[in-house]
Amino acid sequence: MRQDHALNNGAAGASETAPNGEPPTFTAAGVARRSAVAEEQEFLDLATARRDRRADHLRAELSADTQDTVERARRRLLRQQYEELGRARDGLVFGRLDGVDGTVRHIGRVGLRDDHEEREPLLLDWRAPAARPFYTATAVDPQGQARRRHIRTTGSTVVGVDDEPLDGSTNAELVGEGALLAALDQRRTGRMSTAIATLQREQDDIIRAEATGPLIVQGGPGTGKTVVALHRVAYLLFAHPAMADQAVLVLGPSPRFLRYIAQVLPALGETAVVAATCDTLLPGIRVGRDESRLLAEIKGRALWQPALENYVTSLLPRPRALKLRWEGESYVIPAATVAQALASAVQGRPYHRARTAFAAHLHHILAEAVVAQREALMNEMEEGFEDILARVDRAMQHEPQVSRRSTGSDVDGLLSEEEVESLRSRIAGNAALARFVEAWWPTLDAGTLLRGLLTDGTLLARFAPQLSPAEITAVSAEPAPWASSDIPLLDALADLLGEGEAPRPPGGSVADHARRQRDWVYGHVVVDEAQELSEMQWHMVLRRCPGRSVTAVGDIDQAAAAHRHTSWAEAVQAVLGDRWTAAELTICYRTPREVMELTEPVLREAGSQNAPPRAVRSCGIAPWMRTVPPAELADAAAGAVRQLQQRWHGGTVGVVAPADRLAELRAVLSDVPVLTATQAKGLEWDATLLVDPQGITTEPRGWNGLYVALTRCTQELGQLVLS
């Protein structure tokens, strides 16, 4: 069985320092001789002192200035290590593995070596391969371990340990059950915290999975989808350091959600991360209006990608003979030559890059034409001069005293290589020629093009023939400000045009540069609440990671978006095809068993074929329900919230209600979040007040929304039902 050691169950043990001053060796035998808490306090003090010495050393190295490029690159890594050590002050040590061979390894937020570099690490980074048994070893598969210990700390003090034998003497279902349940029972603060000390095996398997292609993780409420996704980022950046040079993109469903998770990755020591929503991915573009679900569904379809590709292709100039002037002379470039240059320039390039390539071809062609014309002119001159010389020669036959000299063979009229190169350079820099190319192949703007397409029924019918006449009418009636579903279309057009390619300015972090550039290619992309993405938004994701190193987490049964996908295969088929890997989280840690028992009939009403995740904890509080008249709803909600706040003092309370109830509830509830089911996705509170659940079911995707609303609490659920 699990052994719990409280702070007061043993006095501090004596320090075991070797005669030569080396750090003490912690062995399994030593555990039996000393208090568990005291022993772990001794180790924490040792690790803290080593962390501080290392930080002091790094700070001294970083204090000196340098202009050497190689040294500056090395110091960037040192600064990253220094900042990581600073963030590791809380929870520096949280675990320990005792091997069957007597070895002891401590697990922590960062890796630390002792003063003797050739020895075993003093503290293993939780992401290191040697630390993995801490998350995956079981009594059935102990992986060479005799015991796992979770170490609970507050600041620099060890407050308790939880021991878990791995010798088959216990059948604990959860890894570090005591530490996990203690963490789950803590009051919520409105901000997500790290979970490196309490990750479970099925979570760790996903965190450490290969990043060679799209990984889609299905997980019901409370299964730790977001925790897994964020800790996977930290693991990948640790396992693949080069990924930090490209940064990682984390896409969330809303700014509120991004604020909720904002401190997790920095707390894990990762800063090469850009957090955004699909609506904020285009620099300088913001959503200016809401739109109907019908339009959102229409404009989210994958058909727009080929439609926009064909639209931009239609805007390319058509081959024709081009008449150019250079230094007062006219030159005609044949249509066949122009067609060949066009075909060579396009070759999969975006519109504006293809124009740049064509201009380079044109400069070369014009230079050749100029050289050829000059050579032809010189040849004509030489032929005429030779006729004159022939007449002179005939005359000279009668004047033998005249010296005979011929210069025709001394001048061939050819330009030297240097002269030809100079000609090409002057042609490339000629403003008049640049204006000609711009007029024939004009610069285009993605926003202007999209507005032109969406408001022109004829163009829509031509390039998106899959749309019905009614759908074309609905789309072409759209007003000017951008809606959320316009952003992926704008992104697609910007990509097809080649907009947003800017040189990387000096200074700033990788994340800063990536955030400013639409066309940045990331090392990895994480998508949370991925079931909400439209097919066109999936295209946005792949544009930012062509290598398809993507982790998407979500619950298909919590989908609130306009599309009607009921499986992941349906959701991603149009963009990913069959080239993705599925994974699943099956255990609910957050939502108590008493609440999860309410969800199965709701899922059936939603048309789901999935079983709800299995809850592993009980809060001992039965969900309650009160019936109130509509006229008394606001007052009843205010009273219920006050009671919940009193019961969960120091924690959080959230209110979920239908959209048409928000205004009246917010008028009397100014100190708690009052959200729709969609807005509440991904969030959690100690207690949830669900107002008018029947009203939620009447909204689009209503039963899915009710499933979301029911599963936001970690402790108590109350419902106000209208009479």
**For 357-369, how does the pLDDT look when each residue is reduced to its tens digit (9 = 90+)?**
999 999 999 998 8
Asked if 647 contacts 688 with a C-beta cutoff of 8 angstroms, the reply is no
Lookup: tokens for 466: 């899959």
- Radius of gyration (Cα) for the chain, nearest Å? 35
Average predicted confidence (pLDDT) for the chain: 84
Q: What average pLDDT score do residues 268-295 get?
A: 88
4 membership: H or E segment, kind and range? strand 3-6
Q: What average pLDDT score do residues 174-184 get?
A: 55
Q: Which amino acid is at 554?
A: G
Residue 496 CA to residue 350 CA, distance in Å, equals 5
Q: Scanning the structure block, which residue is given the tokens 């507050």?
A: 154
pLDDT band per the 50, 70, 90 thresholds, residue 35: confident
Residue 432's nearest CA partner among 359, 325, 328 is 325
Tell me whether strands 145-154 and 93-99 are parallel, antiparallel or unpaired: antiparallel
Q: Which amino acid is at 550?
A: V
Residue 460: CB atoms within 10 Å: 21
pLDDT band per the 50, 70, 90 thresholds, residue 5: very low
Percent of the chain with pLDDT over 70: 82
| Residues in contact with 613: Cβ distance below 8 Å, sequence separation at least 6, in sequence order | 219, 220, 221, 222, 223, 585, 586, 587, 588, 596
Q: Scanning the structure block, which residue is given the tokens 């033998």?
A: 400
pLDDT at 381 over 70: no
Positive or negative, the Cα torsion across 30, 31, 35, 38?
Answer: positive
Residue 490 CA to residue 304 CA, distance in Å, equals 11
Asked if 148 contacts 96 with a C-beta cutoff of 8 angstroms, the reply is yes
The DSSP secondary structure of 608-638, one letter per residue, reads: --SPPPEE----S---EEEEE-GGGHHHHHH
pLDDT at 10 over 50: no
Q: Which residue has the higher pLDDT, 180 or 124?
A: 124
Strand partners, 333: 322
pLDDT of residue 410: 41
| Residues in contact with 82: Cβ distance below 8 Å, sequence separation at least 6, in sequence order | 55, 58, 59, 62
Burial class for 21, CB neighbours closer than 10 Å (0-12, 13-18, 19+): exposed
pLDDT of residue 392: 55
Lookup: tokens for 406: 């011929």
Residue 43's nearest CA partner among 131, 106, 121 is 106
User: pLDDT for 505-528, tens place per residue?
Assistant: 566 678 888 989 999 999 999 999
pLDDT band per the 50, 70, 90 thresholds, residue 264: confident
pLDDT at 60 over 80: yes
Residue 242: CB atoms within 10 Å: 8
| Residues in contact with 411: Cβ distance below 8 Å, sequence separation at least 6, in sequence order | 382
pLDDT of residue 376: 75
Q: What average pLDDT score do residues 178-203 get?
A: 62
Sheet with 248-251, edge to edge strand ranges:
273-276, 248-251, 524-528, 550-554, 215-219, 581-585
| Alpha-carbon 12 to chain mean position | 46
Find the distance separating the first CA and the last CA of the chain, reported in whole Å: 50
Q: Which residue has the higher pLDDT, 192 or 600?
A: 600
pLDDT at 183 over 90: no
Residue 21's nearest CA partner among 116, 111, 112, 113 is 116
Q: Which residue has the higher pLDDT, 21 or 564?
A: 564
DSSP 268: T
Residue 298 CA to residue 471 CA, distance in Å, equals 7
pLDDT band per the 50, 70, 90 thresholds, residue 707: very high
Lookup: tokens for 349: 């390039």
pLDDT of residue 11: 29
Residue 586 CA to residue 599 CA, distance in Å, equals 15
User: pLDDT for 671-697, tens place per residue?
Assistant: 999 999 989 987 889 999 999 999 999
pLDDT at 309 over 50: yes
pLDDT at 34 over 90: no
Residue 317 CA to residue 324 CA, distance in Å, equals 16
pLDDT at 719 over 90: yes
Q: Scanning the structure block, which residue is given the tokens 């990984």?
A: 215
Going along the chain from its start, the domains and CATH numbers come out as 3-172 (no CATH), 316-397+413-443 (no CATH), 593-722 (3.40.50.300)
Residue 714's nearest CA partner among 613, 590, 574, 536 is 590
Tell me whether strands 624-628 and 581-585 are parallel, antiparallel or unpaired: unpaired
Percent of the chain with pLDDT over 90: 51
Question: Three-state DSSP class for 292?
Answer: coil
Residue 3's nearest CA partner among 204, 166, 157 is 166
* Angle formed at CA 372 by CA 366 and CA 378, multiple of 5 degrees: 140
Tell me whether strands 104-108 and 93-99 are parallel, antiparallel or unpaired: antiparallel
The DSSP secondary structure of 591-606, one letter per residue, reads: S-HHHHTTHHHHHHHT
Q: What average pLDDT score do residues 153-166 get?
A: 86
The DSSP secondary structure of 132-176, one letter per residue, reads: THHHH--SSS-TTEEEEEEEEEETTEEEEEEEEE-SSS---SSTT
* Angle formed at CA 530 by CA 525 and CA 533, multiple of 5 degrees: 100
Strand partners, 294: none
Q: What average pLDDT score do residues 258-271 get?
A: 74
Lookup: tokens for 67: 């202009």
User: pLDDT for 465-511, tens place per residue?
Assistant: 999 999 999 998 777 799 999 999 999 999 999 964 555 556 667 88
Lookup: tokens for 345: 């320039």
Lookup: tokens for 540: 């946005």
Predicted TM-score (pTM) of this structure: 0.76
Counting Cα atoms < 13 Å in the Cβ hemisphere of 111 gives: 13
pLDDT at 388 over 70: no
- CA torsion 463-467-471-474 (nearest 10°) is -10
